[in-house]
Amino acid sequence: MFELKKGAFVLDELKNVSIRIGRVVEEEEEEWEEAGPTPKPGILELRKWDHTLLERYEPFYAPMQDFCNLCTMGPCDLSMNKKGACGIDLKTQKARLVTIACCVGASAHTAHARHLVDHLIEEYGEDLPIDLGPDVNVEAPVMRTVVGIKPKTLGDLREALSWAEKEIVKVLHSVHIGNEESYIDYESKALHVSMADHVGMEVADIAQIVAYNFPKAEPNTPLVDTGFGIVDRSKPTIVVVGHNVMYARPISDYLEEQGRIDDFEVAGLCCTAHDMTRYNQKAKIFGPIYYQLRVIRAGLADIVVSDEQCIRADLLDACKKAGVPLIATSDAAARGLPDVSDWPVEKIVDALVSGKLPGVFLPVPEKVGQVAPLVAEAVFRKHGGERKYRFFEDDSAFREEIEKCTQCMNCVFTCPHSLRVDQGMAHAQKTGDVSKLAKLEEICIACGKCEQVCPKNIKIINVIMRANYDNLYNKTGKTRVGRGPIQDTEIRKVGQPIVFGQIPGVIAAVGCINYPDEMKSIVEILEEFLKRRYIVVTSGCHAMDIGMIKDEEGRTLYEKYPGNFDAGGLVNVGSCVSNAHISGATIKIANIFAMRPLRGNYAEIADYVLNRVGAVGFSWGPYSHKAASIATGFNRLGVPVVVGPHGTKYRRAYIGKPWKKDRWWVYDIKTRQKVFIEPAPDSLLVAVETKEEAIVQLARLCIRPNDTSAGRQIKLTHYIELHQKYYGDLPDDWHLYVRSEADLPLKQREELLKILEEQYGWKIDWEKKKIVEGPIRHYDAGFNPTIVEEVYEKYTRG
Amino acid sequence: MAVTKEEKYPSPKRFDIADIQVSRESTAVKPKIVANMIKRAKRPLLITGGQLLKDEKLVDFAVKFAEKGIPIAATAGSSRPLIERGVRPISKTYTLHQITQFLQDEEFQGFDGQGNYDTVIFLGFLPYYLSRMLSSLKHFTKITTIAIDEFYQPHAKFSFTNLTKDRELYHSMLEEVLQNL
Ligand code: SF4
Ligand code: SF4
Ligand code: SF4
């Protein structure tokens, strides 16, 4: 039999006709699992699931503007729910905007993945096997569940990528004028494209793990240096910034080859830094995105290499002012710079060192690897190895700057955090004490908005940084290198306690750094849960900031808590694209622990997660579109997300109404009945204002309908304790979660029974200390909930 | 009577200059008007926010509102200092985000089951966070919203002006509201 192989064929008989066979579908691959109902879903395949979710978790809208100016028929006044010239109303327009935001986020990760995969296939070939370590057999849980494939090689990732790209384009299409009429359907599209985002992220991270040999699901990855004060200032320093390690990696390769890695400092900002440390543990992390202006203005960099996403749009300008040359590498951010791909290395180096060009666009990773160190060394020498902070020439210049302030408050009225710069300045003017200004440094995101409106042209960022000079410059910490996926064996171990509730929850702290409070608040929040033996998972900027905060004994959370996915563990999965391992872990619980099939079986898995897996996402400082799509992707998977107060600016939330009793129901597969349940969890996306509120909301949203009595008791104990500690009293809704006396915290059982009787009118058999009447439902050990009709039918059949 | 060009009150300028193209801007009001509106309300509700944890003065004022019989929904942990002062908030657990969602539902019967609120007063919030919630209430409900924080809130129906510069004036205004209740 003639067998088709991959490649191009010319058929002799048919002139000028050639046939290209792309992927040859192998039989074995077809058989790994029976295909579920929704492999490679389009917009409609999971619409029913979305509508079920959204009926319970109603979209909430908080418009930023009363107007719309998305097209030339407008601008339109949409206030008080008027309609625009295109016929759209305010809610639908906001849902459309959220959909656009999620498309932006999803395409950021997916384009990043495409970049990587195409490049890596060229470098390593498409047959490079996907091997994520011996303990990872479920290698790509998101891809398996959503796309319905089980990728074996780098080349296989393209199939998932093509699916995601197609869906992103389709959803983006729907935001054009005259398309969708229903805000619920826009939300469904936002959920859809955000699910695609998790596929994009998974592709990107798997590709870089296998090609670059990043840690493969290792719990005990090394600790690397983090913070502003990490670099040895007597060495040339290369600063990489952005979200794609593909361009930065050759720098460390080149230096290793030359045997000169120890003569340089390679430190980075944001996720490229994260991923550099996964590649080479000699690399260091300055910090997250908001350290860009700080690092550049401080004169810490001898060269800056930028790639894509989360880079300041005035990076070149900032570098120019500080006399630091810039290499832009990604086509996503060419920065108006001349393309020097064809130039010889020496010519590029010369142009940058001499200052003939302030920066270059060089999208050739290998060349970047050579150019960056050569330029860094030459620039370093040019300065005579002299490395002074450049915020101000000297102390008197600093003082003079402060004296200029007239307390007009323009800065305060412009600052995203409304920071009281005026008060800090006034206090310093009067007393000479800059401590009030120093305090602002911990909340200031160095965005620079204030400087533009200051009528006195005060370099406010510099003043704030200089005021906290000693702390800032000595800030060093440790971050655990991103480990990538969670092992199957770890899942096997914790699957049951998570589903049954003995591990009270998984808190996933991910996202950007727009904290409403000092940076250390993220550590305070997470430590509360680590001490209580929740599993804490982290990634991206949150993971970096955690590494910068030390306790009184000088230890960071990474030094105090182990890196394994288990009770009391602090797991850093890695950069933003590594978030897919967090959604992947929840999927793996359904698969490895509960044996639920994954292949094209999204709704069943999401339903499983919603009803059973007490995982909650947390983004204390969200701001990017990527954070929007990451969170929305978690929501579709049944994972609630708590965001900090800036998160309200996404304009949309998903908030259920616990008092609407008819909204809280499930089908019980065991009793074959529709059962009314407690409102758990009662929101899918909700913003909190303070760290106290964050802690309490995270604990309460870990409660799931399927908790066993032992599990519910533990979850309720933590929730009640935290509520009492931070809110001063019992929660308003604790009784809603009580199904029997066994659910009650042991220590408070008697007292709580009394309250149930007196305040809520429940009937208690005091002799047996039993609840006779009152709960929304009684506990049944065989309870088997689902809100998906098809899942109900599947498991009740026969 | 809205605040006009009177010396005593600073201008109602947006706290975040880039914030908001607003079609209907909040009316900046004097304390007496606030008091009258609260008195006229059938179902007033005071919602307190997380800034009570940082500012003892705000707690003092919230306690006085409670003493005047205004029910309090405490958010963000602001229940704690209130409870310590003997106040019993009618809601402690829900976030401002959640409460705003509830208020928009015609079926919401309040935290006591007696019906939805017609006038809601906000005290002690991060300005940008409150701003979004006020926007939501403005577009999607008929509720009278009154912001009595130190920032002018353009999305509220009624708001104090910008008083951040003059805390004494701010406090005296809150005092005046209370005296007139
Ligand atoms: S998209 Fe619609 S609402 Fe927006 S400006 Fe155009 S016509 Fe007006
Ligand atoms: S640089 Fe800092 S102080 Fe200035 S506006 Fe931004 S966050 Fe506020
Ligand atoms: S804008 Fe400038 S002058 Fe005005 S308060 Fe701020 S720092 Fe001072």
Structure tokens at A500: 């049954």
Mean pLDDT of A526-532: 98
Minimal Cβ distance to A62: which of B82, B95, B136: B136
Residue A317 pLDDT exceeds 60: yes
Please tell me which residue of chain B has the smallest CA distance to A726. B77
Residue A86 pLDDT exceeds 80: yes
At residue A474, the 3 state secondary structure works out as coil
Alpha helices in chain B (DSSP H): 31-40, 56-67, 79-84, 96-103, 127-140, 167-179
In angstroms, the separation between the Cα of residue B180 and the nearest Cα of chain A is: 30
A423 lines ligand 3 (CB under 6 A): no
Alpha helices in A342-448 (DSSP H): 345-354, 365-382, 395-403, 421-431, 435-440
Residue owning the nearest CA to atom 4 of ligand 2: A450
pLDDT computed for residue A31 by the predictor: 76
Show which of residues 261-280 on chain A sit within 8 Å of chain B, judged by CB atoms. none
What is this structure's pTM?
Answer: 0.95
Q: How far apart are CA B133 and CA B168, in angstroms?
A: 27
- Residues facing A266 on adjacent strands: A238
A258 in B contact zone (CB under 8 Å):
no
Specify the ligand 3 atom closest to the Cα of A414: 1
pLDDT computed for residue B6 by the predictor: 57
Taking residue A6's Cβ as centre, other Cβ atoms within 10 Å add up to: 11
Q: Which residues contact A476 (CB under 8 A, 6 or more apart)?
A: A225, A226, A227, A228, A229, A230
- The string of pLDDT tens digits covering residues A152-175 is 999 999 999 999 999 999 999 999
A37 preceded by a cis bond (ω within 30 of 0): no
Please tell me which residue of chain A has the smallest CA distance to B162. A413
The pLDDT confidence band at residue A5, using thresholds 50, 70 and 90, is low
Is B20 within 8 Å of A412 when comparing Cβ atoms?
no
Q: In A, which residues are within 8 Å of B23 by CB distance?
A: 66-67, 77, 79-80
Q: How far apart are CA A730 and CA A737, in angstroms?
A: 13
- The string of pLDDT tens digits covering residues A168-216 is 999 999 999 888 999 999 999 999 999 999 999 999 999 999 999 999 9
- Work out the burial of residue A710: count CB atoms within 10 Å of its CB; fewer than 13 is exposed, 13-18 middle, 19 or more buried: middle
A442 lines ligand 2 (CB under 6 A): no
Q: Nearest to residue A466, comparing CAs of A498, A490, A438? A: A438
- The string of pLDDT tens digits covering residues A552-564 is 999 999 999 999 9
pLDDT computed for residue A233 by the predictor: 86
In angstroms, the separation between the Cα of residue A395 and the nearest Cα of chain B is: 29
- A5 versus A395: which is more confidently predicted? A395
Select the residue from A57, A61, A66 to test the B interface by mutation, using most B Cβ atoms within 10 A. Answer: A66
Rg (CA), chain A: 27
Q: Sign of the C-alpha dihedral, residues A139, A145, A150, A155?
A: negative
Residues in chain B: 181
Rg (CA), chain B: 15
In angstroms, the separation between the Cα of residue B143 and the nearest Cα of chain A is: 12
Minimal Cβ distance to B17: which of A413, A660, A687: A413
A59 preceded by a cis bond (ω within 30 of 0): no
For chain A, percent of residues with pLDDT exceeding 90: 87
Is B17 within 8 Å of A700 when comparing Cβ atoms?
no
Residue A474 pLDDT exceeds 90: no
What are the backbone angles phi and psi of residue A425, rounded to the nearest 5°? -65, -45
Q: How far apart are CA A731 and CA A716, in angstroms?
A: 10
Q: Which residues contact A551 (CB under 8 A, 6 or more apart)?
A: A560
B172 in A contact zone (CB under 8 Å):
no
A645 in B contact zone (CB under 8 Å):
yes
Q: Which residues contact A470 (CB under 8 A, 6 or more apart)?
A: none
Please tell me which residue of chain A has the smallest CA distance to B109. A659
Is A413 within 8 Å of B16 when comparing Cβ atoms?
yes
Structure tokens at A219: 């719990």
Show which of residues 470-529 on chain A sit within 8 Å of chain B, judged by CB atoms. 516
B101 in A contact zone (CB under 8 Å):
yes
Cα–Cα distances (Å) from B165 to A250, A443, B124, B151, B161, in that order, read 53, 21, 16, 10, 11
Minimal Cβ distance to A413: which of B15, B83, B125: B15
pLDDT computed for residue A151 by the predictor: 97
Number of C-alpha atoms within 13 angstroms, CB side, residue A331? 7
Is B128 within 8 Å of A697 when comparing Cβ atoms?
no
Contact A143, A40 (CB under 8 A): no
Residue owning the nearest CA to atom 2 of ligand 3: A454
Select the residue from A183, A413, A641, A652 to test the B interface by mutation, using most B Cβ atoms within 10 A. Answer: A413
Taking residue A172's Cβ as centre, other Cβ atoms within 10 Å add up to: 18
A461 lines ligand 3 (CB under 6 A): no
pLDDT computed for residue A3 by the predictor: 53
Q: Which residues contact A41 (CB under 8 A, 6 or more apart)?
A: A146, A192, A600, A602
Structure tokens at A94: 């906001």
Q: Nearest to residue A390, comparing CAs of A319, A313, A445, A284? A: A319
Residue identified by tokens 């991923």 is A275
Q: Which helix (H) or strand (E) holds A257?
A: helix A249-257
A408 lines ligand 3 (CB under 6 A): yes
Structure tokens at B85: 């002062």
Residue A228 pLDDT exceeds 90: no
In angstroms, the separation between the Cα of residue B124 and the nearest Cα of chain A is: 11
Q: What is the whole-number distance in angstroms between the Cα of residue A425 and the centre of ligand 3?
A: 8
Q: What is the whole-number distance in angstroms between the Cα of residue B173 and the centre of ligand 3?
A: 26
Residue owning the nearest CA to atom 6 of ligand 1: A71
pLDDT computed for residue A27 by the predictor: 45
Q: What is the whole-number distance in angstroms between the Cα of residue A548 and the centre of ligand 3?
A: 30
Show which of residues 545-584 on chain A sit within 8 Å of chain B, judged by CB atoms. none
The pLDDT confidence band at residue A4, using thresholds 50, 70 and 90, is low
Is A693 within 8 Å of B91 when comparing Cβ atoms?
no
Q: What is the whole-number distance in angstroms between the Cα of residue A55 and the centre of ligand 1?
A: 27
Residues in chain A: 798
For helices A157-173 and A90-124, angle between their N-to-C axes, nearest 10 degrees = 160
Structure tokens at A306: 């930028």
Largest CA distance in chain A: 94
Is A732 within 8 Å of B76 when comparing Cβ atoms?
no
Question: Which residue positions in chain B have pLDDT lower than 50?
Answer: none
Is A689 within 8 Å of B96 when comparing Cβ atoms?
yes
B165 in A contact zone (CB under 8 Å):
yes
A449 lines ligand 2 (CB under 6 A): yes
pLDDT computed for residue B3 by the predictor: 74
Show which of residues 310-369 on chain A sit within 8 Å of chain B, judged by CB atoms. none
pLDDT computed for residue A14 by the predictor: 55
Contact A314, A359 (CB under 8 A): no
Q: How far apart are CA A695 and CA A131, in angstroms?
A: 37
Is B136 within 8 Å of A60 when comparing Cβ atoms?
yes
For helices A395-403 and A460-467, angle between their N-to-C axes, nearest 10 degrees = 130
Show which of residues 54-73 on chain B sit within 8 Å of chain A, judged by CB atoms. none
Select the residue from A452, A528, A684, A693 to test the B interface by mutation, using most B Cβ atoms within 10 A. Answer: A693
In this structure, the residues whose C-beta lies within 6 A of any atom of ligand 1 are A 68-71, 73-76, 84-86, 88, 93, 177
A457 in B contact zone (CB under 8 Å):
no
What mean pLDDT value characterizes chain A?
93
Please tell me which residue of chain A has the smallest CA distance to B86. A728
Q: What is the whole-number distance in angstroms between the Cα of residue A480 and the centre of ligand 2?
A: 29
Contact A226, A547 (CB under 8 A): yes
Residues A513-525 as b/e (b if ≥16 CB within 10 A, e otherwise) read: bbbbbbbbbbbeb
- The string of pLDDT tens digits covering residues A664-699 is 999 999 999 999 999 999 999 999 999 999 999 999
- Work out the burial of residue A470: count CB atoms within 10 Å of its CB; fewer than 13 is exposed, 13-18 middle, 19 or more buried: exposed
Minimal Cβ distance to A655: which of B75, B101, B107: B101
Structure tokens at A302: 């001898």
- A12 versus A698: which is more confidently predicted? A698
- The string of pLDDT tens digits covering residues A340-391 is 999 999 999 999 999 999 999 999 999 999 999 999 999 999 887 666 566 8
Is A653 within 8 Å of B97 when comparing Cβ atoms?
yes
- DSSP assignment of A389-402 equals --S-SSHHHHHHHH
